[in-house]
Structure 1
Amino acid sequence: MGRYLFIAKRLVFAIPLLFAIVLLVFLILKVTPGDPARLIVGLRASDAELAVVRAQLGLDDPAIVQYFRYVGEVLTGNLGYSFKSNEPVASLIGERLPVTVWLLGFGTLLSLVISVPLAIISARGPDRPFDHATRAFGLVALAMPSFWVGIILILTVALPTGWFPVGGFGETPAEHLRSIALPALTLALSIAPLQVRSLRASMITVLGAEHVTTARSLGIGRSRIMSRFVLRNAAPPTVSILALNLGYLLFGAVVIETTFALPGIGQGIVLAARQRDIPSIQGYTLLFAVAVVLVFLIADIITSIADPRLEVES
């Protein structure tokens, strides 16, 4: 019962948090220097033209009226129109979102492929040469900026071999995979060290627990102990670390997409910032903020399901 109450509390808490996020995104329009209407009509427009645009945008209404109107539009999926292209911001985001989803999805998958085996082997033999090498690799990987890793992969892998493009996303699923491989690897190398450290530490603690010792005394195989008793109990802290890193990588994707010229959300944010396209900036910011909240919400739910020992005060 406590588990379901925990999930319900997290869902309820997310609702006012999302409204607070919408408020902060709305305030971007208010604190940004300059007149949004002037950005649309240009510097040479007359006062009459400026007044017409301000009336169309509802900028003459009280701030509270503008906020609730903005909330209503967001709830219906209307994020406004770009000042530069006059296209719906939701459409612009929809065109770029699949690229970022591919990047984050494959990057997360690669990070797990790298971190889980390294953590298991290191936890089985702590303070052995492989464990020391794994921790040294983690320190080096953490010290390398994502854009530098991406440039190195381009220079040492993409250009010499020609197996991977250095920019763009392609048209077919096969081209998508080739285009996303190196960016995803760059992303994975930036979060795998933290996952290795977290999972290794948790597994070492669980391996010394009484129930694992009892399982060994009963003659249960090492692989079964590792999969059934150790990994499940050691996973919750790593899930939290992964969620924290995914929230961070939503913003780190800006750097990686710019490095590899991927037409994703990150590159869209950079372009909107250069053009001072406020509705687009608001839309991208809202998307990122909501995504972070959802990632942490999903992580809490997964943790409550994965760890049967979790006790939550009602």
Structure 2
Amino acid sequence: MTSRFSFIFKRLLTLIPLVLGILLITTFLLDLTPGDPARLVAGPRASAQDVAQIRVKMGLDRPFFVRYVDYVINVFQGNFGTSFKTGQDVGQQIANQLPITLSIALGAIALALIVAVPLAILSARKVDKLPDQIVRVLCVLGIGLPSFWIAVMLITYVALPTKWFPVAGIGTTFDAHVRSVLLPIITVAIGVMPPMVRSLRATLLEVNGADYVIAAKTLGFSGMKLTRSFVLRNAVGPLVTVTAAQAGFALFGTTVVEVAFSLPGIGQGLVTAASARDFPLVQGYTFVFAIMVVVLYLIADIVAAAIDPRVRIQS
């Protein structure tokens, strides 16, 4: 128990330099912008005086280190600034949009796991046979098909003909919300599921050749009982890591899906803010996306350590 808490504490400590590094990159976004950010915000017809005022408002008249320290202090106080275009608080705007993105990403990961685990087990048990070949082909197709194309196909051949699913907006009731996010969830799940299937299949095949599995077979264990008791529980560790990686891809995949289905999540917000050159919003979205990915990997490390004590020992 002590080693487990020590492992978690050390992982939490690593978040401090990671968060500071993310904030450093986020602050540096202004300096990476081609041309004069103040001129881009003001527009080509703005006077030099207007551009100078915007430059002061954006903090570009101060040294980079001063801007970075101020931004760090503000973020830890929950202040992400104010949108240039809407005048709204950036943190509040992100908080309003975040549940939509999380519902799509987490729903996609849950759906992908529900489908991936049985497919991987079937593929590993029927290796090189017809079921295994079908699963492997489906994985290749899932990796190769662009998310935007899948979204368009679902809208064209499912949403519009059946009229069960909205093709834009999120809805105001719980039922409408579920129907609004179901097709986006399926779209993202199709993209993140193949690596899960392939990873779990490879691990299952490796574990099947382990000495303890061979010993269990000699004792009479076979079929799903052997898979559940000896194979699957020792093969889920790598799946946790792959799932965390795919969860990160799912978060960024929601950007494309939210645009395709016109959903007001943070992915759609990031695209809109970038096109409008709303730098405080872009910085806020970038920081939130990065933090969510870091937290996902932290959770994956903790879950992997809980499943397999060897992870804590090696760490």
TM-score by length of 2: 0.92
Return closer, same or farther for 1:165/1:52 CA change in 2, 3 Å cut-off: closer
Asked if the contact 2:22–2:287 (Cα under 8 Å) also holds between the matched residues in 1, the reply is yes
What is the rounded CA distance, in whole Å, between the counterparts of 2:232 and 2:76 in structure 1?
40
1:28 equivalent in structure 2: 29
Distance 1:270 1:146 in 2: 16
Q: Shift in Å at residue 301 of structure 1?
A: 1.0
Aligned residues of 1:39 and 1:83 also touching (Cα < 8 A): no
Aligned length: 314
Tell me by how many angstroms 1:118 deviates: 0.5
Q: Distance in 2 between matches of 1:57 and 1:266?
A: 23
Distance 1:159 1:291 in 2: 33
Offset at 1:225? 3.1
Q: Could you list the runs of 5+ residues in structure 1 that have no partner in the other structure?
A: none
Q: In the alignment, which residue of structure 1 is the partner of 2:299?
A: 298
Give the residue type in structure 1 aligned to 2:140. Answer: L
Task: Measure how far apart 1:310 and its partner are.
Answer: 3.2
Q: State whether structure 2 residue 76 is matched by structure 1 residue 112.
A: no
Residue 93 of structure 2 aligns with which residue? 92
Question: Which is worse superposed, 199-208 or 26-35?
Answer: 26-35
Aligned to 1:184: 185
Distance 1:270 1:57, change over 3 A: closer
Question: Is 1:236 equivalent to 2:226 in the alignment?
Answer: no
What aligned pairs does 1:170-249 form with structure 2 within 5 A after superposition? 170-220=171-221, 222-249=223-250
Report how far residue 104 of structure 1 moved.
0.5
Distance in 1 (CA, whole Å) between partners of 2:146 and 2:197 is 18
Q: For the residues of structure 2 that align with 1:12 and 1:121, how far apart are their CA atoms? A: 41
Instruction: Give, in angstroms, the shift of residue 2 of structure 1.
Output: 5.0
Structure 1 residues 4-50: Cα deviation after superposition (integer angstroms, max 9, x where no partner): 44433322222101101100100112222454555566556555555
Q: Alpha-carbon deviation of 1:222?
A: 3.9
Q: Is contact 2:41-2:277 (8 Å) kept? A: no
Who is 2:13 aligned against? 12
Find the aligned partners of 1:300 and 1:28 in 2 and give their Cα distance.
30
Residues 89 and 279, structure 1, Cα contact 8 Å, conserved in 2:
yes
Offset from partner CA, 1:205-263 (integer Å, 9 cap, x none): 21222222333333456434322322221111111111111212222211111111111
Where in structure 2 are there 5+ consecutive unaligned residues? none
Residue 49 and residue 145 in structure 1: after superposition, are their counterparts in 2 closer, same or farther (change >3 A)? closer
Equivalent AA in structure 1 for residue 82 of structure 2: Y
TM-score by structure 1 length?
0.92
Inter-CA distance 210–311: structure 2 relative to 1 (3 Å threshold): farther
CA distance in 1: counterparts of 2:297 and 2:304, whole angstroms: 10
* Partner residue, 1:143: 144
> Partner letter of residue 137 of structure 2?
A
**Distance 1:201-1:50 versus aligned 2 partners, 3 A rule:** closer
Instruction: Name the amino acid aligned to 1:17.
Output: L
> What CA distance in whole angstroms lies between the structure 1 residues aligned with 2:275 and 2:234?
47
> Does the CA contact (< 8 Å) of 1:6 and 1:312 recur in 2?
no
Secondary structure at the counterpart of residue 310 of structure 1 = helix
SS in 1 for 2:73: helix
Specify whether residues 313 and 201 from structure 1 end up closer, same or farther in structure 2 by C-alpha distance, changes over 3 A only. Answer: closer
Find the counterpart in structure 2 of residue 101 from structure 1.
Answer: 102
Output the CA distance in 1 between the equivalents of 2:314 and 2:235: 22
What is the match of residue 159 of structure 1?
A: 160
Q: Is 1:119–1:200's contact at 8 Å kept on the other side of the alignment? A: yes
Identity of aligned residues (%): 46
**What CA deviation, in whole Å up to 9, does each residue of 1:61-82 have, x standing for no partner?**
3222211111000101111111
